[in-house]
């Protein structure tokens, strides 16, 4: 595990470098973010935002998703890829919200992950960005950079999440995830990380080993 002083330095650099970090998915309420995050699997946020610009006009409530013909919903989300599975999850999500939560998105991880198509990553995105709760989002960027920095040795996203929760101050959990996603897209890329311009290189096990 990383030394506490090093973690403080990492967090300070991320705050300076990405002071406005947040999800790039467009949403106006928790339901919209929940649906958008499900659609973002194996799809760019830019494409998801293009699709949801019209989708959210057509489906405004959980009841709308629950009652939608599956074939129509498939067509509405087709361009995000894996559209049959995504449409099935979103329709099931709408039904579950109506049946169990009076059409409202629950505000706990335990309840969110019981919904169709919702794993810990999706639940944490909603908790952090829509409800303002401390939540560590672990996507491929966060996992990769956390391993490179020496914050975890795990590949499993859940184990990475718990390692980060153990080491990071709770009030930094949400920002950290979104900052790392920005950093992964812009600098610490998968194949050719730009270590020579990375502000974290002096604190990074991967950069120092090159």
What CATH number does the domain containing 177 carry?
Answer: 1.10.1670.10
Looking at 81, 102, 130, which one is the last position of a domain? 130
Q: Which of 9, 88, 139, 159 is catalytic?
A: 139
pLDDT in tens, 101-126: 999 999 999 999 999 999 999 999 99
* 139 annotated active-site: yes
Residue 130: predicted pLDDT = 97
- The pLDDT confidence band at residue 2, using thresholds 50, 70 and 90, is confident
Phi and psi of 25, rounded to 5°? Answer: -75, 140
Residue 57: predicted pLDDT = 98
98 and 186 assigned to the same domain = no
Q: Which of 2, 86, 91, 121 is catalytic?
A: 121
pLDDT in tens, 54-86: 999 999 999 999 999 999 999 999 999 999 999
10 and 66 assigned to the same domain = no
**Which one, of 181, 182, 179, 142, lies nearest residue 162 by Cα?**
142
- Domain coverage including residue 181: 4-22+136-209
Q: Which two tokens stand for residue 143?
A: 């996992």
**Which one, of 23, 27, 85, lies nearest residue 53 by Cα?**
27
pLDDT in tens, 7-47: 999 999 999 999 999 999 999 999 999 999 999 999 999 99
* 163 annotated active-site: no
């Amino acid at each position: 595990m990383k030394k506490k002083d090093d973690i403080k330095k990492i967090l300070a650099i991320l705050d300076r470098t990405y002071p406005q970090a947040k999800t790039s998915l467009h949403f106006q309420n928790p339901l919209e973010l929940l649906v958008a995050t499900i659609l973002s699997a194996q799809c760019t946020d830019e494409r998801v935002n293009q699709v949801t610009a019209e989708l959210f006009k057509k489906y405004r409530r959980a009841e709308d998703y629950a009652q939608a013909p599956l074939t129509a919903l498939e067509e509405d989300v087709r361009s995000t890829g894996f559209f049959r599975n995504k449409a099935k999850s979103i329709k099931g999500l709408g039904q579950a919200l109506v049946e169990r939560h009076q059409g409202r998105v629950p505000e706990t991880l335990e309840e969110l992950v019981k919904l169709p198509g919702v794993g810990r990553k999706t639940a944490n995105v909603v908790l952090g960005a829509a409800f303002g709760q401390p939540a560590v989002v672990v996507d491929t960027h966060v996992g990769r950079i956390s391993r490179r920095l020496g914050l975890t040795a795990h590949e499993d996203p859940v184990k990475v999440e718990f390692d980060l929760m153990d080491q990071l101050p709770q009030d930094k959990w949400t920002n950290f995830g979104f900052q790392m996603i920005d950093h992964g897209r812009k600098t610490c890329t998968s194949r050719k990380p730009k270590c020579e311009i990375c502000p974290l290189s002096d604190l990074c096990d991967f950069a120092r080993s090159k």
